[in-house]
Amino acid sequence: MRIIRYSIPSMFSLLALLSALNAILLSINTEYVNACYFILAAMLFDSLDGRVARLLNSSTAFGAALDSLVDMMAYGVAPGMMMYCWKFHTLGRFGFIVSFIMCLCAGLRLARFNIMLDVQDKRFFQGLSSTMAGGFVVSFILCSTQYGWSGTLNTVLAVIITLGSALLMVSNVKFYSFKSVGKNKKLILTSLYSTMLIMIAMVPWFKGLMVIAFLGGYVVINLLLQPLFNRM
């Protein structure tokens, strides 16, 4: 029973890893919409592993290390690979470099997070989380594919979004983590999850726009609130 209790959180991490691998293979076969949905599935599984571990009181150093490696795959390697297969292969060496920068910054972001875990302010992430960065890049691919966005402007936006997301990961910009929300924790978390469920319910009508709106809104709001965060 003890083995099962400690294995369940890692199973969610492995499901996220499997989803990331599927996303890469599908993007190689130019099935970009399905590839994007597998990254969104990885984000869902990734959000569950830690919560399940805390619920079962089965958090371990092994689980934390596995989660970090899966994050590198799902939000660094997979988005970079998907961007290269979808758009950046047309840009030659420059496209390869941009894709690599996404992978590189995800790795640096996760390494910094791991060594600062016990000393950083729990209220904030230092730099954009790899989950949000990878999800934002993938959601742009999803929207572009579903709505037929193309042309030079779309390529330029793809480069800007990829580089911007990558550089925000290794920046010192503060992003609210929702891990410490004070006295109104239950109200705030209920409002957040309710908003997420409403947006998920609207996906069949608005498709990837709901995903990119949620992730993009999180990034923009946090950037605008930097003066406030720096005084907290």
pLDDT score at 16: 94
pLDDT score at 204: 62
- Can you read off the two tokens belonging to residue 118? 């016990």
pLDDT score at 141: 97
pTM confidence score: 0.88
- C-alpha–C-alpha distance, residues 93 and 70, integer Å: 27
Cβ–Cβ under 8 Å, residues 203 and 143: no
**Rounded (to 5) percent helix, strand, coil in the chain:** 80, 5, 15
- C-alpha–C-alpha distance, residues 150 and 129, integer Å: 28
Look at strands 124-126 and 174-176 and give their pairing.
antiparallel
- Which tens digits make up the pLDDT trace of 14-55? 999 999 999 999 999 999 999 999 999 999 888 887 777 777
Residue ranges in the chain modelled with pLDDT below 50: none
CA 60 to chain centre: 22
The burial of 172, by beta-carbon neighbours within 10 Å (0-12 exposed, 13-18 middle, 19 or more buried), is given as: exposed
Angular region, 57: left φ>0, alpha ψ -120 to 50, beta rest: left
